[in-house]
Protein backbone atom coordinates (compact mmCIF):
# COMPACT_ATOMS: atom_id res chain seq x y z
CA UNK A 1 0.00 0.00 0.00
CA UNK A 2 1.33 3.40 -0.87
CA UNK A 3 1.59 6.23 1.61
CA UNK A 4 -1.32 8.21 0.14
CA UNK A 5 -3.80 5.34 0.49
CA UNK A 6 -2.63 4.76 4.08
CA UNK A 7 -3.33 8.43 4.83
CA UNK A 8 -6.79 8.10 3.30
CA UNK A 9 -7.53 5.04 5.42
CA UNK A 10 -6.26 6.87 8.51
CA UNK A 11 -8.39 9.89 7.61
CA UNK A 12 -11.48 7.72 7.18
CA UNK A 13 -10.86 6.03 10.54
CA UNK A 14 -10.47 9.45 12.18
CA UNK A 15 -13.70 10.64 10.54
CA UNK A 16 -15.59 7.57 11.80
CA UNK A 17 -14.16 8.10 15.30
CA UNK A 18 -15.29 11.74 15.24
CA UNK A 19 -18.79 10.73 14.18
CA UNK A 20 -18.89 8.14 16.97
CA UNK A 21 -17.73 10.71 19.54
CA UNK A 22 -20.32 13.18 18.25
CA UNK A 23 -23.02 10.52 18.64
CA UNK A 24 -22.05 9.75 22.22
CA UNK A 25 -21.95 13.46 23.06
CA UNK A 26 -25.41 13.88 21.51
CA UNK A 27 -26.97 11.09 23.54
CA UNK A 28 -25.39 12.06 26.85
CA UNK A 29 -26.04 15.75 26.27
CA UNK A 30 -29.68 15.09 25.42
CA UNK A 31 -30.30 13.07 28.56
CA UNK A 32 -28.60 15.84 30.55
CA UNK A 33 -30.76 18.54 28.94
CA UNK A 34 -34.00 16.71 29.71
CA UNK A 35 -32.87 16.09 33.28
CA UNK A 36 -31.99 19.77 33.67
CA UNK A 37 -35.20 21.04 32.06
CA UNK A 38 -37.37 18.80 34.23
CA UNK A 39 -35.35 19.70 37.31
CA UNK A 40 -34.52 16.02 37.67
CA UNK A 41 -38.17 15.13 38.28
CA UNK A 42 -38.10 12.74 35.32
CA UNK A 43 -35.70 9.83 35.22
CA UNK A 44 -35.33 9.48 31.47
CA UNK A 45 -34.01 5.92 31.51
CA UNK A 46 -36.69 4.71 33.90
CA UNK A 47 -39.49 6.41 31.95
CA UNK A 48 -38.37 4.87 28.67
CA UNK A 49 -37.29 1.40 29.78
CA UNK A 50 -39.47 0.60 32.77
CA UNK A 51 -42.59 2.70 32.08
CA UNK A 52 -42.36 2.50 28.26
CA UNK A 53 -43.21 6.20 28.03
CA UNK A 54 -43.36 6.93 24.29
CA UNK A 55 -43.61 10.69 24.90
CA UNK A 56 -40.31 10.88 26.74
CA UNK A 57 -38.75 8.70 24.04
CA UNK A 58 -40.00 11.08 21.32
CA UNK A 59 -38.63 14.12 23.09
CA UNK A 60 -35.30 12.39 23.75
CA UNK A 61 -35.06 11.37 20.08
CA UNK A 62 -35.66 14.96 18.98
CA UNK A 63 -32.98 16.25 21.36
CA UNK A 64 -30.50 13.60 20.21
CA UNK A 65 -31.24 14.38 16.56
CA UNK A 66 -30.92 18.16 16.97
CA UNK A 67 -27.70 18.06 18.99
CA UNK A 68 -26.32 15.28 16.80
CA UNK A 69 -26.95 17.29 13.64
CA UNK A 70 -25.28 20.33 15.19
CA UNK A 71 -22.26 18.24 16.19
CA UNK A 72 -22.01 16.54 12.78
CA UNK A 73 -22.25 19.88 11.00
CA UNK A 74 -19.27 21.07 13.03
CA UNK A 75 -17.26 17.92 12.31
CA UNK A 76 -17.86 18.14 8.56
CA UNK A 77 -15.85 21.35 7.91
CA UNK A 78 -13.02 20.03 10.06
CA UNK A 79 -12.87 16.81 8.06
CA UNK A 80 -13.02 18.75 4.79
CA UNK A 81 -10.05 20.79 6.02
CA UNK A 82 -8.28 17.58 7.02
CA UNK A 83 -8.84 15.93 3.63
CA UNK A 84 -7.87 19.03 1.66
CA UNK A 85 -4.90 20.19 3.68
CA UNK A 86 -3.54 17.89 6.32
CA UNK A 87 -4.05 14.40 4.95
CA UNK A 88 -1.41 14.94 2.28
CA UNK A 89 1.19 15.07 5.01
CA UNK A 90 1.04 16.01 8.61
CA UNK A 91 3.25 16.83 11.52
CA UNK A 92 2.71 16.86 15.24
CA UNK A 93 1.73 20.52 14.97
CA UNK A 94 -0.99 19.86 12.38
CA UNK A 95 -2.37 16.93 14.38
CA UNK A 96 -2.43 19.12 17.51
CA UNK A 97 -4.15 21.95 15.60
CA UNK A 98 -6.65 19.51 14.14
CA UNK A 99 -7.39 17.92 17.53
CA UNK A 100 -7.82 21.25 19.29
CA UNK A 101 -10.05 22.49 16.47
CA UNK A 102 -12.18 19.38 16.69
CA UNK A 103 -12.56 19.54 20.47
CA UNK A 104 -13.24 23.28 20.35
CA UNK A 105 -15.85 22.98 17.63
CA UNK A 106 -17.55 20.04 19.32
CA UNK A 107 -17.67 22.07 22.53
CA UNK A 108 -19.12 25.06 20.64
CA UNK A 109 -21.75 22.80 19.04
CA UNK A 110 -22.67 21.16 22.32
CA UNK A 111 -22.91 24.40 24.28
CA UNK A 112 -24.69 26.37 21.58
CA UNK A 113 -26.98 23.44 20.71
CA UNK A 114 -27.88 23.00 24.36
CA UNK A 115 -28.49 26.72 24.78
CA UNK A 116 -30.61 26.93 21.63
CA UNK A 117 -32.72 23.93 22.61
CA UNK A 118 -33.08 25.21 26.16
CA UNK A 119 -34.19 28.65 24.96
CA UNK A 120 -36.64 27.23 22.44
CA UNK A 121 -38.15 25.01 25.13
CA UNK A 122 -38.43 27.97 27.49
CA UNK A 123 -40.15 30.06 24.80
CA UNK A 124 -42.57 27.21 24.08
CA UNK A 125 -43.31 26.87 27.79
CA UNK A 126 -43.89 30.62 28.14
CA UNK A 127 -46.32 30.50 25.22
CA UNK A 128 -48.20 27.63 26.87
CA UNK A 129 -48.12 28.77 30.51
CA UNK A 130 -51.31 26.97 31.40
CA UNK A 131 -49.84 23.57 30.45
CA UNK A 132 -47.17 21.69 32.41
CA UNK A 133 -45.61 19.94 29.43
CA UNK A 134 -43.33 17.65 31.40
CA UNK A 135 -46.13 16.49 33.68
CA UNK A 136 -48.33 15.83 30.64
CA UNK A 137 -45.60 13.83 28.95
CA UNK A 138 -44.84 11.90 32.15
CA UNK A 139 -48.54 11.01 32.35
CA UNK A 140 -48.43 9.65 28.80
CA UNK A 141 -49.72 12.56 26.73
CA UNK A 142 -48.06 11.75 23.40
CA UNK A 143 -49.62 14.76 21.65
CA UNK A 144 -47.66 17.17 23.86
CA UNK A 145 -44.50 15.16 23.23
CA UNK A 146 -45.08 15.41 19.47
CA UNK A 147 -45.39 19.21 19.66
CA UNK A 148 -42.19 19.50 21.69
CA UNK A 149 -40.39 17.06 19.37
CA UNK A 150 -41.47 18.95 16.26
CA UNK A 151 -40.32 22.21 17.83
CA UNK A 152 -36.90 20.74 18.59
CA UNK A 153 -36.59 19.21 15.10
CA UNK A 154 -37.36 22.55 13.43
CA UNK A 155 -35.04 24.50 15.73
CA UNK A 156 -32.30 21.93 15.06
CA UNK A 157 -32.77 22.22 11.29
CA UNK A 158 -32.55 26.00 11.39
CA UNK A 159 -29.53 26.22 13.63
CA UNK A 160 -27.31 23.38 12.39
CA UNK A 161 -26.05 25.41 9.42
CA UNK A 162 -25.63 28.53 11.57
CA UNK A 163 -23.48 26.66 14.06
CA UNK A 164 -21.44 25.17 11.23
CA UNK A 165 -20.88 28.67 9.83
CA UNK A 166 -19.77 29.93 13.25
CA UNK A 167 -17.33 27.04 13.68
CA UNK A 168 -15.86 27.48 10.20
CA UNK A 169 -15.10 31.13 10.91
CA UNK A 170 -14.19 30.73 14.57
CA UNK A 171 -11.61 28.01 14.01
CA UNK A 172 -10.52 29.00 10.50
CA UNK A 173 -11.59 25.85 8.69
pLDDT in tens, 5-56: 776 777 778 778 877 887 887 788 777 877 777 777 788 888 888 888 999 8
What pTM was computed for the model?
0.78
Which is nearest to 27 in space by CA: 65, 72, 64?
64
pLDDT in tens, 132-173: 888 898 888 999 999 999 999 999 888 888 887 887 777 666
d(CA 86, CA 159): 28
18 backbone φψ class: left, alpha, beta (φ>0; ψ -120 to 50):
alpha
User: Which of the pair, 2 or 50, is modelled with greater confidence?
Assistant: 50
Amino acid sequence: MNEMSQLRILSTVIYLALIFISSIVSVLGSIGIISFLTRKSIDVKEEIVKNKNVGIALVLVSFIWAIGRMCIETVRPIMNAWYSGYASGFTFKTILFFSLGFLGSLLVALISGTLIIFLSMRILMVLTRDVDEWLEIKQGNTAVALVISATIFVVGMFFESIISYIVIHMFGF
